[in-house]
Amino acid sequence: MSQTNEPLKTAALQTATFACGCFWGVESKFQQIEGVVSTDVGYTGGTSDAPTYKSVCGGGTGHAEAVEIIFDPAIVSYSELLERFFLMHDPTDTGDTHGGQYRAAIFYHSSDQEAEARKFKERIQADCGLPVTTQIAPAVAFFRAEEYHQDYYKKNGGGFC
């Protein structure tokens, strides 16, 4: 058994869930942020109890392709994650033109996250002068995507989708 000099801070870690298009690229961008401990891509915000990539892409499940992030708020704040998230997509795009699974959404895990997300959305809307269509909703069941989707760019290289 190995021992480290730094204590594990699991009690301090938090979860954030974001959707804004193809989860491969979104995951890769969040993985580059210092303080992001881990990421998983998957499906959330829908009605099926067993979504798969095929069923989500086929429509009808209501799920969004999303990234669930475990982060250390002592290193990166939720507000900083929101800022990066809003740089990853056009917050005025409903996602309907790209398929409902690519809609932009923030799935909050606490009342503090909800308040921050709503405040951030209002600021973005005031800055751009257009309605921000990014959804803000409570986190619900997150279904981890098939293994070949996890860390897609680390495994396969290539550009962003």
pLDDT by residue (tens digit) across 42-100? 999 999 999 999 999 998 899 999 999 999 999 999 999 999 999 998 888 766 555 58
- Whether the pTM exceeds 0.95: the reply is no
Supply 130's token pair.
């257009």
CA dihedral 21, 52, 109, 136 (to 10 degrees): 40
**What's the rounded Cα separation, in Å, for the pair 83 and 86?**
5
Is the CATH number of domain 13-152 3.30.1060.10?
yes
User: Which of 140, 158, 157 lies closest to 68, judged by CA?
Assistant: 140
Computed over its alpha carbons, how large is the radius of gyration of the chain?
Answer: 16
Supply 81's token pair.
């994650």
Catalytic residue among 20, 22, 57, 128: 22
Domain coordinates in residue numbering, the chain: 13-152
In the residue annotation, 20 being an active-site residue is answered as: no
